[in-house]
Chain A
Amino acid sequence: MMTNMSERSPSQGAVIELKDVEKSFGATKVLTGVNLSIAKGETVVILGPSGSGKSTLLRTTNRLEPIDSGEIWYHGKPIPREGRELAAYRAEVGMVFQQFNLYPHKTAVQNITLAPVKRGKQKPEEARARALRLLADVNLSEHANKRPGALSGGQQQRVAIARAMAMDPEVILFDEPTSALDPEMIQEVVHVMKRLSADGMTMAVVTHEIGFARESADRIVFMDEGRIIEESDPESFFTNPRTERAQEFLGKILNH
């Protein structure tokens, strides 16, 4: 019993920690015994073939999907299951989606200020000034008052990153942030992410951008069929992947 307890206690310094997480959709097992710990300031890149459970892993982390068993800790405490506590937790965990998911009826600035203002974190004027600074950081000052429909994909995704930053998140989860972008816009988004990572933001990033992974990742997590089957530093992962599945996967994406 005692050993079990200590085995299950969160590790020191982890912002997010997943322990034995299991998740099924109906009869499909999507996550099997997933253990993952993300330390403050760390950039973890999650790789894996389509359907391996990468999105589900990120989505369970902020409880957009509930889990069947296991535990998820945030700063050493189990994450809330519902209600105001869950909303408060999510406010500290940013998320950036493949499809940007900006609010189409709001301008770039309004997209960014909505959550800080509604959560009572900042006053409207304060939030607006902050949003303008964040937009300047991602080179979008002149687009501040445009709606998403008038912005390119790359611009929308940079607004989405600024929106996540506006909450001063403890960690940001990125789910294939560049996969829906035209090639010429990928770099402008990758550039912003590289800078965030260098500035010490804690990030979990699902991406196929090997350049980003090589340069910014502190750690690579490789998933296959709902399991994490390999975990290492980027250098060893890309030059010397241990599992056959990872070798196969790298063979495919590097030849593209």
Chain B
Amino acid sequence: MDDLLKALPGLLEGLGVTLYLSIPAFLLAMVLGSMMAIFRVSRVRSLEVLGTLYVEGVRNSPLLLILLLLVFGLPDVGILLPLELAVIIGLGLYSGTFVCEAVRSGINGVDVGMVEAARASGLTTRHVISEVLLPVALRTMIPPLATVFITTVLSSALAAAVGVTELTGATRVYNLVAAQPFVAFGIAAAGYLLINLLIGWASAKSERLLRFNQ
């Protein structure tokens, strides 16, 4: 128990690092993924190809491979990034493919008739997108995007493998001293659970707020 109290600051710091990695990574994924999704539904051939290459290329590699490439490969060609930044970029690139698919199916799921009604009313393409297509699509995207966020948080554990002491890494350090793997990793699991419950709660809340039939 004493050991645990002593280890707590380290574990909390690990939890902080996990957030520090996964929140910016998710934001990067949102920006990149939304852009790529718009490319993929743009009906502009070159943009569609770019979007498809990104999704298929990145999603079909193990995240660990991407992280190893960014952390150990880039310096080899003369690009030196801070370790955390490299992890954030890798994680963002990877999660971006799932954001892309969530946004794309959200857009494709919007009732065509409604978009036609907007066009038929004389709205310009810009207003059809900003006033009708995106607001309606966004609501259907909230649950899948929350899932991507949760996956991003869990995937950030792989950062431990390239030497970042986030929650999983911190737990491993603690376990080396205390040799109580079930306690140690149980605490880490509780940490992840806490973050993910928060995300799930926020998702359900915003979905309720934006619900159509009120």
Q: From known contacts A101-B114, A148-B212, infer whether A118 and B127 are also in contact, taking CB-CB under 8 Å.
A: yes
Are A90 and B122 neighbours in the complex by a CB distance under 8 Å?
yes
Within the complex, what minimum Cβ distance (angstroms) separates B214 from chain A? Answer: 6
Q: Which residues of B, 108-136, contact A by the 8 Å Cβ criterion? A: 111, 113-114, 116-124, 127, 131-132, 135-136
Question: Contact partner of B131 among A99, A114, A167, CB < 8 A?
Answer: A114
Are A149 and B122 neighbours in the complex by a CB distance under 8 Å?
no
Tally of contact residues, A, Cβ under 8 A:
31
Tally of contact residues, B, Cβ under 8 A:
22
Give Cα A95–Cα B122 distance, bound, in whole angstroms.
10
Q: From known contacts A97-B113, A118-B127, A118-B131, infer whether A105 and B120 are also in contact, taking CB-CB under 8 Å.
A: no
Within the complex, what minimum Cβ distance (angstroms) separates A68 from chain B? Answer: 20
Kindly list chain B residues whose C-beta atoms are within 8 Å of the C-beta of A150.
213-214
A87 close to chain B: CB less than 8 A:
yes
B80 close to chain A: CB less than 8 A:
no
Q: From known contacts A97-B113, A104-B136, infer whether A87 and B123 are also in contact, taking CB-CB under 8 Å.
A: yes
Q: Which residues of B, 76-123, contact A by the 8 Å Cβ criterion? A: 111, 113-114, 116-123
Q: From known contacts A97-B113, A149-B212, A150-B213, infer whether A103 and B123 are also in contact, taking CB-CB under 8 Å.
A: no
Give Cα A148–Cα B214 distance, bound, in whole angstroms.
9
Kindly list chain B residues whose C-beta atoms are within 8 Å of the C-beta of A167.
121-122
Within the complex, what minimum Cβ distance (angstroms) separates A13 from chain B? Answer: 24
Q: Which residues of A, 141-177, contact B by the 8 Å Cβ criterion? A: 147-150, 160, 163-164, 167
Q: From known contacts A104-B114, A105-B212, A149-B212, infer whether A91 and B122 are also in contact, taking CB-CB under 8 Å.
A: yes
Question: Contact partner of B210 among A93, A97, A105, CB < 8 A?
Answer: A105
Kindly list chain A residues whose C-beta atoms are within 8 Å of the C-beta of B121.
90-91, 94-95, 114-115, 163-164, 167
Beta-carbon contacts of B182-202 to A below 8 Å, as 1s and 0s? Answer: 000000000000000000000
Are A90 and B117 neighbours in the complex by a CB distance under 8 Å?
no
Kindly list chain B residues whose C-beta atoms are within 8 Å of the C-beta of A252.
none
Within the complex, what minimum Cβ distance (angstroms) separates B78 from chain A? Answer: 47
Kindly list chain B residues whose C-beta atoms are within 8 Å of the C-beta of A64.
116, 119-120
Are A87 and B122 neighbours in the complex by a CB distance under 8 Å?
yes
Smallest CB-CB separation from B113: which chain A residue? Answer: A101
Q: Which 4 A-B pairs have the closest CB atoms?
A: A91-B122, A149-B213, A101-B117, A115-B121
Given A101-B116, A150-B213, A150-B214, 11 additional A-B pairs, CB 8 A: A90-B121, A101-B111, A104-B212, A105-B135, A105-B139, A115-B123, A147-B212, A147-B213, A147-B214, A148-B212, A149-B212
Return 7 A-B CB contacts under 8 Å, by A number: A64-B120, A87-B122, A90-B121, A101-B113, A101-B116, A105-B139, A105-B210
Residue numbers of A with Cβ under 8 A of B are 62, 64, 84, 87-95, 97, 99, 101-105, 114-115, 118-119, 147-150, 160, 163-164, 167
